[in-house]
Structure 1
Amino acid sequence: MGFNPLEHQGIPLDRQLRNWRELDVEPVDPDRGDPYTRCRIITMNGIEAEAILFNRQFARHCPDPDVRQELARVRYVEAQQQKAVNWLLPGLASVLETTIAYEQVAVDLTGWVARHEPDPYLRQAYEFGVLEDFDHLYRYANLYEMIEHRKAESVVGQLTEVMPGRPTKFHHRDPVDNVREPYDRTAADPLSRLHALTIMSAEQQTMNFYMNVGPQYMEPIARQLYQEIALIEEEHVTHYESLVDPGETWWEQLVTHEYNECYLYHSFLEQEPDAKVRAVWELHLNMELEHLRIACDLLRRHDGREPGELLAPELPNVLTFEENKRFVRGLLDTQIDLTTLGTGYVRDAHERFQRFQELIHGGEEPPSERVMARHREQFGGEYRLESEGPHPDVASRERN
């Protein structure tokens, strides 16, 4: 039998508050740790940040003072969880090093979700997005070597390739073409709900991270590249958040958020090799079990529904950070020239796309192209990290 979080008792909420000593977690080793441990930390930071932001929006729209107090109690614990998780990141890591890890998360988390998504339309949305984050990883890796004289391999190991994806300059689209069709809340597979919430949360955290760290660099090309990709992450958040059915009630969304946290903490607990980090995942899972129980009680009282009406009877198979090299290469061979039109996808550079490209680029090469030109001038070529075997130079392909 699988793990059903509704059947497990968590830590009572009044025993979840931690003092400063308990929150003072030991960060992971940036040089000896598993790169996917860092990916799991970044992912759960985004998940916890989304939980806090959602809870705040719910409280601002809820007229019931008792419910607002209940939300505040849970939200404070979620804020402690977010601090504990985010503080696991090594303080020695530079902003660019952490940025490369963020893009590794985007590639391998979205790649795994795309491979396991049961809905074809949602799967296409994830496949489309992963090729763009794959190219962001490539651009930042070249910037990393230029500024810090280190190679991205020191961050991603041999787990994720670094090579051109869909060129970043083609990611800028008219905002109306970033809005997708949502899943149907009455018919969607429970796994699809979790996938959409997970990727939306991760991309939202990436967007917020770039918005805040980009201006910290003195090098103009670094500031410009962060600005460009931060705007694309805004597009990605629109792309993914629009997949969620807006007809879901606040209570329904609350339950899904808490259930998803249980799912991810359980998944990462199952695969985490670092004992210190694994202890955090286990503790937080036992906290989230209680948060889920509270959310389910609120759903029953205020929405008149049972959690079983929208949740799977047990958690899906664990979400795993693993190599997606063959999968991504397959997408590069078949979807490199896609763009969006309305809520669908096309291969032709349609008029609205071309008009927006002209407006945003202003007749000049964007930072994502200039950083590559600078790297070629400085090193005589581009930085790449590829597995053995031939692969087409997709960066040289131009849209028809």
Structure 2
Amino acid sequence: MSFNPLEQRGIPLDRQLRNWRELDVEPVDPDHGDPYTRCRVITMNGIEVEAILFSHQLARHCPDPEVKRQLARTRYIEAQQQKVVNWLLPGVASVLETTIAYEQVAVDLTAWVARMEPDPYLQQAYQFGVLEDFDHLYRYANLYEMIEHRKAEAIVDQLTEVMPGRPTKYHHRDPVDNVRDPYDRTRTDPLSKLHALTIMSTEQQTMNFYMNVGPTYMEPIARRLYQEIGLIEEEHVTHYESLVDPGETWWEQLVNHEYNECYLYHSFMEQESDPKVKAVWELHLNMELEHLHVACDLMRRHDGREPEEVLAPELPPVMTFEPNKAYLRELLATQMDLTTLGAGYVRDAHERFEKLQEAIHGGEAPPSEQVIDEHREMFGREYRLETEGEHPDPAMRQG
């Protein structure tokens, strides 16, 4: 059944404020809950954080005090939503367990978006990025067994395989080669806008998370690995944010943000297996419907346009967390040796790539390689979780 957020009225903004008792949500069960429930929680936390940060940036560039006040009203509710969503994560989970869940999000969410993306250029951007997050999951899983002596399969529940992707050491590129060409806001499919905003937001939250938790570890190899992958997540944010058309006005971006929140809360409400969490998604959807109408009114007033000019007439099919094993194995077999050059992709290393590699690694093995070496020394093997078939050769061809 079609669902058009523009035709739905949510909870009035002046009735959305929650007290402390209502904000004190029960976290998900880390041992018996659906791993994809945790993935949905992590995704929506990233979406809410992006909504808050974007609203702050808009306020800082807006001279109209009444608009600032309206943004502040909505943003405070968004901040409450973010607290509720993020606080669904179990406090007993370690930072590394949460990290592995973050990478499971990056793998299965980005793979799903790549499968569904109608624009071949944008699809390639997601295919390229997912092979790197796939390798990050493998590196962190080895670190997890070394430090906590537990296996990542207890977290990903065999829904997502754990094995080498494009080797992390090859993810370090000249910054200019991380900037992609944007979609054309006047011609692109509205679904493409939602995809770009979703993946940008989740990668941004991963970047923020690693920046903050990395130095909290005492183990040198953990500190080094978070530092390395944290730098790569910054590259990923550059990669994905550059896909968004910079010609979108502030008001157009605002309604896109709110529409995307409606899309994701609706999607996750439709597939959520945990009744308590599903109730959160439903409540937040009804809040976001009103936020969308507020944003649409601002767009009409300050952009002189109707939101229907930039938004889809109805929500696309729901965004789904599901295994992507066959799709990822196909990418591993065909795209492992890609790197970037300008706004495109090449199969052989080039001068800028090799120069950056030499400068960053300094002739030494990076932390992402050290963690595998140290794991082999400790256990006599590396950690993998393969559920079918054989894995392609992870070597990257050098020019």
1:306 equivalent in structure 2: 306
Confirm or deny: 8 A CA contact 2:136 2:168 kept in the other structure. yes
Alignment of 1:204-353 (within 5 A): 204-353=204-353
1:111-170 deviations in Å (ceiling 9; x for gaps): 000000000000000000000000000000000000000000000001000000000000
Partner of 2:4: 4
Provide the rounded CA distance (Å) in 2 between the counterparts of 1:390 and 1:168: 20
Report what 2:186 is aligned to.
Answer: 186
What SS does structure 2 have at the residue aligned with 1:384?
A: coil
Q: Does 1:28 align with 2:28?
A: yes
Cα drift, residue 397 of structure 1: 4.7
Paired AA for residue 399 in structure 1: Q
Deviations 1:60-93 (A, max 9, x none): 0000011000000000000000000000000000
What letter matches 2:36 in structure 1?
A: Y
Q: Which residue of 2 aligns with 1:383?
A: 383
Contact 2:113 2:126 (C-alpha < 8 Å) held by counterparts: yes
Determine if contact 1:164/1:393 at 8 Å carries over to the other structure. no
1:354 aligns with 2:354: yes
Structure 2 distance, partners of 1:16, 1:392, is 51
Partner of 1:399: 398
Amino acid at match of 2:110: T
Report Cα offsets for 1:163-195 as digits up to 9, x if no partner: 000000000000000000000011010000000
The equivalent residue for 2:46 is: 46
C-alpha separation in 2, matches of 1:84 and 1:297: 27
Is residue 132 of structure 2 the alignment partner of residue 99 of structure 1? Answer: no
Partner Cα separation in structure 2 for residue 107 and residue 2 of structure 1? 28
CA contact (8 A) 2:42 2:105 kept: yes
Give 1:88's aligned residue: 88
Correspondence for 1:363: 363
- Measured in 2, the distance between the counterparts of 1:139 and 1:206 equals 15
The alignment partner of 1:278 has SS state of: helix
- Does structure 1 residue 79 correspond to structure 2 residue 88? no
Q: Report the alpha carbon displacement of residue 389 of structure 1 after superposing the two structures with TM.
A: 1.8
The gaps in structure 2 that reach 5 residues or longer are none
TM-score, normalising length from structure 2? Answer: 0.99
Name the counterpart of 2:128. 128
Q: Distance in 2 between matches of 1:350 and 1:93?
A: 42
Q: Aligned to 2:247, what secondary structure does the other structure show?
A: coil
**Count of residue pairs brought into register by the alignment:** 399
In structure 2, distance between residues paired with 1:11 and 1:376: 55
Seen in structure 2, the aligned counterparts of structure 1 residues 398 and 375 have a Cα distance that, compared at 3 Å, is: farther
Q: Residues of 2 paired with 1:390 and 1:113: CA distance?
A: 25
Q: Which residue in 1 is equivalent to 2:66?
A: 66
- SS, match of residue 340 in structure 2: strand
Deviation at 1:387, TM superposition (A): 1.1
Please tell me whether the aligned partners of residues 40 and 268 of structure 2 are also in contact (alpha carbons under 8 angstroms). Answer: yes
Partners of 2:377 and 2:219 lie apart in 1 by 16
CA contact under 8 A between 1:40 and 1:268: conserved in structure 2? yes
Output the CA distance in 1 between the equivalents of 2:304 and 2:388.
Answer: 57
Question: Distance between the aligned counterparts of 1:153 and 1:35, measured in 2?
Answer: 10
Q: CA deviation at 1:393?
A: 3.7
SS at match of 1:345: strand
